[in-house]
Amino acid sequence: MHDISIPALFGILAAMLVAAKLLGELAERLGQPAVLGELIAGVLLGGVLGIVPTEGPAGEVVHVLAELGVVLLLFEIGLETDLREMFRVGPAALSVATVGVILPFVLGFAYWAYVPHAAAAGSTDLTTAAIFVGATLTATSVGITARVLSDLHQMNTMEARIIIGAAVIDDVLGLVILTVVSGLAAGASLAPLGILRIFAVAVGFLAVAVVVGRFVAPRLFDLVVRMRVRYVLLVIAIAFALALASVAALAGSALIIGAFAAGLILSGTNQFDTIEREVRPVASIFAPIFFVSVGASVNLSLLDPTREGAPGLLGVAAVLTLLAVAGKLAAGWAAPWARYRRLVVGIGMVPRGEVGLIFADIGRRAGILNEAVFGAILLVVMATTFIAPPGLKLLFGSRSGNPAA
Amino acid sequence: MHDISIPALFGILAAMLVAAKLLGELAERLGQPAVLGELIAGVLLGGVLGIVPTEGPAGEVVHVLAELGVVLLLFEIGLETDLREMFRVGPAALSVATVGVILPFVLGFAYWAYVPHAAAAGSTDLTTAAIFVGATLTATSVGITARVLSDLHQMNTMEARIIIGAAVIDDVLGLVILTVVSGLAAGASLAPLGILRIFAVAVGFLAVAVVVGRFVAPRLFDLVVRMRVRYVLLVIAIAFALALASVAALAGSALIIGAFAAGLILSGTNQFDTIEREVRPVASIFAPIFFVSVGASVNLSLLDPTREGAPGLLGVAAVLTLLAVAGKLAAGWAAPWARYRRLVVGIGMVPRGEVGLIFADIGRRAGILNEAVFGAILLVVMATTFIAPPGLKLLFGSRSGNPAA
């Protein structure tokens, strides 16, 4: 009756959870954030052992569970976010996000279009390819950074608020860029009005949802709490997060923006601490599946230096990684009027995670990026994703890193 | 990159959760168990509105989440089960289960093979069809009954222990029957040695897992509790349940038997109450998805009396339902030496749930049961599933129902 072997799938999920916790523990014992261990667990289970399905029906199910994990994670982060504090860092976050999108894009585009390098040879349309390469460098993976900050118990710092705020804004900007590059991939030309519309929808969704939600949700949940059935508060809260994630994505925004908005909204209800306490165990089961999946999407054969074309590829990847890191680091200094540790914010913006992978994949499937260039971008995404956790740990560990200006 | 629209799927899941809680609440307010409301929520969302996917990639994902729900539910029930109490009711449960399998089978077979009725006309092989009809009447849905008992706060009663014990034994017997009928569907003849082997594997798995597990698990979890990462105890416990469910199914037993065994095993660890407290919210999210799915699999058009052949079909379904209920009710009296309320145990064994559906589906796909007979069996499964919740509620509500003999 069904195409999926559920016993096999449950076995894989069990292995993913156990590996995530064992390597997370090892990472913590070595003074690193647990999420770094979960990513490495994914590399081991996916790239080395090949037991994490990435395609076919089983791959779909793992993908859905991973998305459920990142939605629950962003919901939890939204619940833990103080909206007034968020507004206070708003201008700084906006400035950091904007610079952190423009600078990496310009650097990536310029390198690809104007500097001679191995991987550019054979590209049919250098300008389009350069736009794609630039675009893949703009994303920020809010999931990775948020988990690192949470692992380090730093979610309540000024820096964490700026990073999370900027990363959410980056997701809004990322949607605009995604739509533009998807249009390019389909052969369309850039229409300024279309771009503006996407931008307005994404920003508008977040604003309307939070304003309306903060008014409606407390009244709604005062009714819910009067119901008697088991765990009604938790189940309705998670249904609320799923529904808002769904509406956000269908309205042209993104799942994780809806989930984050749901958390922000419910943090204004009277039942907020019960919801937060009960959501945590549920999120703790699914978030590791997301991080292990991200690790499992790493293609290890790209790291093999004896592979044909590998030296050139690794050189290009190294340059792109430098540009990607430099562009985001510089964004850390984009809000000179605010007092915060610039380097912490810069490092926090570095991981590209799954968003960069999605951009690169669209370019590959449209034939704009060939296998080699796609491979180089994958290496950049991996490198940036793995740099941030130990970097943030180092900075938060040594308070001397970069004092508030 | 993916065939499934995740936003649409998350929207559907949100609707399933909200409908489950709203109708569960309504059921409770009307003095019924919440699970009855969840089943009706499934009928509304599935049969009436048609928004619960049952086929294609989205149907697969909902199916996996539903299975996750029933595995977590049985794991939780296992955790709450006192193994010594279970052993004390063992002989009674075994007797109830055995009678509850043989009697409905004989009644169903005899009616189909020897009594003239509308639906038998046109059957190619009456004996094989009769074996299938008998087999579909043997199953007991442990999920439904356990939820009802839990909703009514009766899990610690003698009757509940016998029902759960007998339902688990029924699952073991069900596996044997399933393999036999699958063989028949494929055209094989009955091989007594093969049947014995399946039986030995299913019983052996449960025995070995519990004996070894009760020795190993406490030592293992004393190590796990020394780990520092977030929710490590919960995540490892759920991984353990998934792994044992997986091993059970791959070894020829069933997912839910493995999950139940995992709960029994972990109820012997020192960290048992932390695990139980943290598993509950996770199970409370996924169990409703299972019950809503069961409700959604009901084909409402079969209930339409104006449909061609409907009167005859409804008559056959009514007779089969009577036989199905009578066979299981009689099983309530199968352990005359033990003191318990016979009628409560009998009613508790009535629901056929998804197991009956699986048997019927195999027969339909093999061409042994035609659409009309399949429809009649679906009606029987529905009727028995919906009879038990209000029946148990009635009996537990009025202590005068059937005093201990």
Span B315-333, pLDDT tens digits: 888 888 999 899 988 888 8
Mention every residue, 6+ apart, whose C-beta is less than 8 A from residue B93: B161, B162, B164, B165, B166, B168, B169, B335
What ipTM was estimated for this complex? Answer: 0.80
d(CA A173, CA A196): 11
DSSP per-residue codes, B299-354: -GGGG-TTSTTHHHHHHHHHHHHHHHHHHHHHHTTS-TTS-S-HHHHHHHT---HH
Q: Are A90 and A158 in contact (CB under 8 A)?
A: no
Q: What is the reported pLDDT for B398?
A: 54
Q: What single DSSP character describes residue B190?
A: P
Coil/strand/helix, residue B139? coil
pLDDT digits (tens, 9 = 90+) for A112-163: 888 776 665 555 677 778 888 888 888 887 777 887 888 778 778 888 888 8
pLDDT digits (tens, 9 = 90+) for A63-89: 899 989 988 988 987 887 777 767 778
Residue B181, both tokens: 């009928």
> Which residues in chain B touch residue A255, judged by CB atoms under 8 angstroms apart?
6-7, 10
> Which residues in chain B touch residue A23, judged by CB atoms under 8 angstroms apart?
none
d(CA A319, CA B209): 54
pLDDT digits (tens, 9 = 90+) for A372-392: 777 788 778 878 877 888 888
Q: Does A38 touch chain B (CB under 8 A)?
A: no
Distance from CA of B180 to the nearest CA of A (A): 18
User: In the predicted model, is pLDDT for residue A400 greater than 60?
Assistant: no
pLDDT digits (tens, 9 = 90+) for A279-322: 999 999 998 998 888 778 766 776 676 766 666 778 888 888 89
Q: What single DSSP character describes residue A189?
A: P
Mean pLDDT of chain B: 81
Q: Does A155 touch chain B (CB under 8 A)?
A: no
Between A198 and A97, whose confidence is greater?
A97
Q: What angle do CA B348, B352, B358 make, to 5 degrees?
A: 155
Instruction: Name the A residues in 57-86 with CB < 8 Å from any B CB.
Output: 57, 60-61, 63-64, 67-68, 71
For residue A255, count CB atoms less than 10 angstroms from its CB and return exposed for 0-12, middle for 13-18, buried for 19 or more.
Answer: buried
> Does A242 sit within 8 Å of B17, measured CB to CB?
yes
Coil/strand/helix, residue B246? helix
Q: Does A358 touch chain B (CB under 8 A)?
A: yes
A355 pLDDT band, cuts 50/70/90, is low
Q: Are A6 and B255 in contact (CB under 8 A)?
A: yes
d(CA B55, CA B49): 16
Residue A373, both tokens: 């260039």
Q: What single DSSP character describes residue A308?
A: T
Mention every residue, 6+ apart, whose C-beta is less than 8 A from residue B4: A60, A63, A64, B57, B58, B61
User: In the predicted model, is pLDDT for residue A192 greater than 80?
Assistant: no
The residue type at A168? V
DSSP per-residue codes, A114-135: HS--GGGTT-S-HHHHHHHHHH
Q: What single DSSP character describes residue A99?
A: H
> Does A239 sit within 8 Å of B64, measured CB to CB?
no
> Does A285 sit within 8 Å of B281, measured CB to CB?
no
pLDDT digits (tens, 9 = 90+) for B26-60: 987 887 777 778 888 988 998 788 888 877 788 88
> Does A229 sit within 8 Å of B24, measured CB to CB?
yes
Q: What is the reported pLDDT for B72?
A: 92
Q: Which of B1, B17, B71 sits opposite A239 (nearest CB)?
A: B17
In this prediction, residues B67-76 reach a mean pLDDT of 88
DSSP per-residue codes, A204-240: HHHHHHHHHHHHHHHHHHHHHTT--STTHHHHHHHHH
d(CA A17, CA B328): 40
Q: Does A227 touch chain B (CB under 8 A)?
A: yes
Distance of CA B83 to the CA centre of its chain: 21
B25 pLDDT band, cuts 50/70/90, is very high
CA distances from A265 to A67, A187, A205, A213, A342 (A): 21, 40, 13, 5, 29
User: In the predicted model, is pLDDT for residue A1 greater than 70?
Assistant: no
Q: Are B64 and A61 in contact (CB under 8 A)?
A: yes
Q: Does A30 touch chain B (CB under 8 A)?
A: no
Residue A263, both tokens: 């958390």
Q: Which of B21, B250, B278 sits opposite A229 (nearest CB)?
A: B21
d(CA A202, CA A208): 10
Q: What is the reported pLDDT for A402?
A: 40
> Does B285 sit within 8 Å of A232, measured CB to CB?
no
Q: What is the reported pLDDT for A303?
A: 65
Q: What is the reported pLDDT for A8?
A: 92
d(CA B156, CA A6): 31
Poorest-confidence range of A243-247, A347-351, B197-201, B202-206?
A: B197-201
Mention every residue, 6+ apart, whose C-beta is less than 8 A from residue B398: none
Mutation target among B230, B274, B292 for the A interface, most CBs of A within 10 A: B230
Residue in B closest to A236 by C-alpha: B18
Mean pLDDT of chain A: 80
Location of structure tokens 């052996």: B204
How many other C-beta atoms can be found within 10 angstroms of the C-beta atom of residue B226?
9
pLDDT digits (tens, 9 = 90+) for B101-126: 899 999 988 888 887 776 655 556 77
Residue A70, both tokens: 């990142």
Distance from CA of B70 to the nearest CA of A (A): 13
Query: What's the pTM value of the predicted model, to 2 decimals?
Result: 0.81
> Does B6 sit within 8 Å of A249, measured CB to CB?
yes
CA distances from A168 to A86, A240, B362 (A): 11, 19, 49
Residue A254, both tokens: 């993104």
Q: Are B6 and A67 in contact (CB under 8 A)?
A: yes
Q: What is the reported pLDDT for B1?
A: 39
pLDDT digits (tens, 9 = 90+) for B365-381: 777 777 777 778 878 88
Distance from CA of B164 to the nearest CA of A (A): 21
> Does A7 sit within 8 Å of B245, measured CB to CB?
yes
d(CA B373, CA A28): 60
Q: What is the reported pLDDT for A378?
A: 76
Instruction: Name the A residues in 245-284 with CB < 8 Å from any B CB.
Output: 245-250, 255, 278, 280-282, 284
A248 pLDDT band, cuts 50/70/90, is confident
A403 pLDDT band, cuts 50/70/90, is very low
> Which residues in chain B touch residue A9, judged by CB atoms under 8 angstroms apart?
64
